[in-house]
């Protein structure tokens, strides 16, 4: 269509302005509004009647009033202002992010008499940008963190802000060194003291879906939720609890789907969490899960590294002691200071000590690599015990053996079980005085064999008794020059447990110690 008359052109422009999605406003050079289209009405909430003749400043928040002076001075110079992103306020006082394009209006003589202003509402776009930024910042911050508690706090703060919640909490299931589960939590918008007295949120109909990882719970008013208020003693929120009405809870799951915690948000007003907030919380929960898993892996790597360093230091020290003794003997031999036949037993002892340490270290590395392999064979228990006794020098003690009348054939890795018995007997010798008695008892208990090694030695203090089966643990009272590296009992425990058996110790300080092993006659 070709438009030639001015009237038609004007009508056409008016129609465009009327139907535009953007607010189109014109004003004179004193900032007084001269026209106001329907979109301006929708966007800012003021009608045309209310606005024409008013100063444009009515739309400008106090802290941005100076912007108008800059705009007007640019206009006076004939310059356009393009895509100027700023904030304006609606009649209700709500802040809008808008993008402004302002062009000078000239009269027939070319003189600037005012300006046309096109305002686009970019609040939504800004919101998305802001949230993407939160997500981005969050991922950079938390991926650089190793400390679980710091990650929990950063995530809780960021997510609480992102979803516009008044209160936020992150409950995180953590396992302690013994494998027991306990909860860590971080809060945002509330003091810890406000929470500590309420106990952990578990096992109630409201919290269950989050901790089970089955469901996201988003409620405009949790107080009206059918799941709410069924649990004793409070039947709802305990007195003094945060005033939560709007509620949002998202499970935090690992890559393999295990629930590692939950993010919870609350607001005292109704209907504060939208689907969009929910999506954002889910995205943050996924990021948090990755960061927490990374932190866990890195902590494990650090711990293993520390263990490895300790191990190398320890092993080299232990190997050096018998080597230094051997070197000393060699020097004496060279100088002819001791007859060779007298030296031989001493040298053999040190070589055996070296052998023992190396074989313990090898066992440990096999255990740590999960490669301790057992060769089950049916063997005579009597021969197994005899062979073990033969391997230990008990000549300075009285050994008393009690054995069931009839020989029992057991299905075990004979060499490994013998290693355990040798270790128990050697310890009994090592940790008790010369000439004291050592008792070796074997008995049949149903389909199990029980073997006890009892000594009348120094005994083990209760605080040590709890730890003697740990790697490298030696009782504090063991004199420094007592041979050993604290691995024998740890290895024994692994071996007996691999036979589906149990090993334990009972002891009284100064009176003696009894070690007991029990394992099935048949292969587990
Ligand atoms: P090691 O004897 O090489 O130190 P073990 O793992 O065999 O290592 O034993 C760990 C610790 O348990 C010992 O260092 C010692 O403190 C204690 N222990 C083991 N057996 C006895 C025992 N029969 N009497 C007293 N203490 C013992």
Contact between 160 and 168 under an 8 Å Cβ cutoff? The reply is yes
DSSP state at residue 378 = E
Ligand 1 atom closest to Cα of 485? 3
Q: How far is the CA of 447 from the centre of ligand 1 (A)?
A: 29
Secondary element (H or E) of residue 14: helix 6-19
Pocket flag, ligand 1, residue 467 (CB < 6 Å): no
Ligand 1 atom closest to Cα of 512? 24
The pLDDT of residue 91: 95
The pLDDT of residue 142: 82
Residue reference for tokens 């810890």: 192
The pLDDT of residue 263: 93
Among 367, 436, 472, 475, the mutation site with the greatest number of ligand 1 atoms within 8 A of its Cβ is 475
Pocket flag, ligand 1, residue 513 (CB < 6 Å): yes
Pocket flag, ligand 1, residue 460 (CB < 6 Å): yes
- Which residue's alpha carbon is nearest to atom 14 within ligand 1? 474
Cα three-residue angle 370-498-450, rounded to 5 degrees: 155
- Which residue's alpha carbon is nearest to atom 23 within ligand 1? 428
Pocket flag, ligand 1, residue 474 (CB < 6 Å): yes
The pLDDT of residue 180: 54
The pLDDT of residue 202: 56
- CB proximity list for 263: less than 8 A, separation 6 or greater: 155, 156, 159, 168, 169, 170, 249, 250, 252, 281, 284, 285, 288
The pLDDT of residue 300: 83
Q: Which residues of the chain, if any, have pLDDT below 70? A: 1-4, 175-182, 195-203, 230-240
- Which residue's alpha carbon is nearest to atom 20 within ligand 1? 427
- Which residue's alpha carbon is nearest to atom 12 within ligand 1? 468
CA distance 187 to 481: 53
The pLDDT of residue 503: 97
Q: How far is the CA of 427 from the centre of ligand 1 (A)?
A: 6
Per-residue b/e over 267-294, b at no fewer than 16 CB within 10 Å?
beeeebbeeebbebbebbbebbbebbeb
CA distance 405 to 491: 30
- CB proximity list for 347: less than 8 A, separation 6 or greater: 326, 329
Pocket flag, ligand 1, residue 489 (CB < 6 Å): yes
CA distance 345 to 322: 14
The pLDDT of residue 234: 66
Pocket flag, ligand 1, residue 505 (CB < 6 Å): no
Pocket flag, ligand 1, residue 458 (CB < 6 Å): yes
Among 322, 425, 474, 495, the mutation site with the greatest number of ligand 1 atoms within 8 A of its Cβ is 474
Residue 103 CA to chain centroid, in angstroms?
56
Q: What share of the chain is helix, strand, coil (3-state, %, to 5)?
A: 40, 25, 35
The pLDDT of residue 362: 86
Q: How far is the CA of 95 from the centre of ligand 1 (A)?
A: 74
How far lies 194's CA from each of 168, 184, 198, 228, in Å? 13, 16, 8, 21
């Amino acid at each position: 269509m070709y438009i030639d008359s001015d009237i038609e052109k004007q009508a056409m422009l008016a129609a465009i302005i009327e139907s535009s999605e953007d607010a189109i406003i014109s004003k004179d050079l004193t900032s007084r509004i001269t026209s106001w289209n329907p979109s301006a009405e929708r966007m800012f909430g003021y009608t045309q009647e209310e606005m024409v003749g008013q100063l444009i400043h009515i739309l400008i928040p106090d802290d941005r009033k100076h912007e108008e002076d800059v705009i007007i001075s640019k206009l006076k110079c004939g310059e356009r202002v393009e895509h100027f992103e700023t904030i304006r306020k609606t009649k209700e006082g709500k802040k809008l992010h808008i993008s402004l394009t302002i062009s000078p209006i000239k009269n027939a003589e070319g003189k600037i008499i005012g300006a046309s202003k096109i305002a686009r509402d970019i609040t939504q776009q800004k919101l998305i940008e802001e949230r993407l930024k939160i997500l981005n910042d969050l991922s950079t911050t938390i991926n650089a963190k190793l400390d679980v508690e710091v990650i929990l706090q950063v995530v809780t703060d960021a997510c609480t802000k992102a979803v516009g919640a008044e209160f936020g909490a992150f409950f995180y299931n953590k396992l302690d060194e013994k494998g027991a589960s306990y909860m860590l939590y971080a809060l945002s918008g509330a003091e810890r003291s406000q929470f500590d007295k309420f106990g952990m949120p578990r096992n109630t109909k409201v919290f269950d879906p989050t901790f089970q990882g089955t469901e996201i719970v988003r409620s405009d008013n949790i107080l009206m939720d059918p799941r709410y208020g069924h649990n004793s003693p409070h039947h709802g929120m305990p007195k003094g609890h945060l005033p939560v009405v709007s509620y949002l809870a998202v499970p935090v799951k690992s890559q393999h789907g295990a629930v590692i915690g939950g993010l919870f948000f609350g607001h005292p007003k109704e209907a504060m969490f939208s689907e969009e907030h929910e999506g954002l919380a889910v995205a943050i929960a996924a990021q948090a899960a990755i960061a927490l898993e990374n932190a866990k892996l890195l902590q494990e790597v650090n711990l293993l590294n520390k263990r490895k360093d300790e191990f190398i230091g320890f092993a080299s020290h232990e190997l050096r002691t018998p080597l230094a003794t051997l070197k000393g003997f060699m020097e004496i031999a060279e100088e002819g200071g001791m007859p060779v036949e007298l030296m031989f037993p001493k040298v053999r002892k040190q070589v055996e000590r070296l052998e023992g340490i190396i074989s313990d270290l090898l066992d440990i590395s096999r255990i740590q690599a999960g490669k301790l392999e057992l060769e089950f064979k049916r063997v005579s228990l009597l021969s197994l015990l005899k062979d073990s006794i033969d391997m230990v020098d008990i000549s300075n003690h009285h050994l008393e053996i009690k054995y069931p009348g009839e020989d029992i054939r057991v299905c075990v890795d004979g060499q490994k079980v013998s290693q355990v018995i040798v270790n128990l007997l050697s310890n009994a010798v090592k940790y008790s005085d010369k000439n004291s008695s050592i008792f070796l008892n074997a008995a049949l208990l149903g389909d199990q064999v029980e073997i006890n090694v009892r000594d009348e030695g120094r005994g083990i203090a209760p605080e040590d008794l709890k730890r003697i089966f740990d790697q490298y643990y030696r009782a504090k009272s063991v004199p420094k020059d007592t041979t050993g590296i604290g691995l024998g009992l740890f290895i024994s425990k692994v071996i007996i447990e691999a036979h589906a058996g149990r090993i334990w110790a009972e002891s009284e300080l100064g009176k003696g110690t009894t070690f007991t092993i029990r394992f099935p006659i048949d292969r587990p």
